[in-house]
Amino acid sequence: MWGNREGLKTVRECNNRYELDVYTMLWTRGRDFPLAMLSGRLRCPKCGSRRVAVAITMPSNAGTAARMAR
């Protein structure tokens, strides 16, 4: 994802993916935590790198989930 060089070293690209639990994030970070700062607070559990990319996806039944939350 970020290339195969880190300084003068050649490193393998890590393609680890993980789905974050929203409720755990709310309990640990608080509901006012800005999502833009999330990638700076994470570390890959597989390779230990802090260079992570965060993608937010909505469930396909987002309308149904929003109605159920009321």
pLDDT digits (tens, 9 = 90+) for 22-62: 888 888 888 898 888 888 888 888 888 888 888 877 777 65
Name the residue range of residue 14's domain: 5-69
Distances (CA, A) of 32 to 8, 23, 29, 38, 56: 39, 13, 8, 12, 17
Across the strands, what pairs with 6? 9
Give residue 69's pLDDT. 56
pLDDT (0 to 100) of residue 5: 62
How many domains, in total, are found in the chain? Answer: 1
Evaluate if pTM is beyond 0.75: no
d(CA 9, CA 63): 47
State how far the Cα of 24 lies from the Cα of 60, in Å rounded to an integer: 21
Band (pLDDT 50/70/90 cuts) for residue 1 is very low
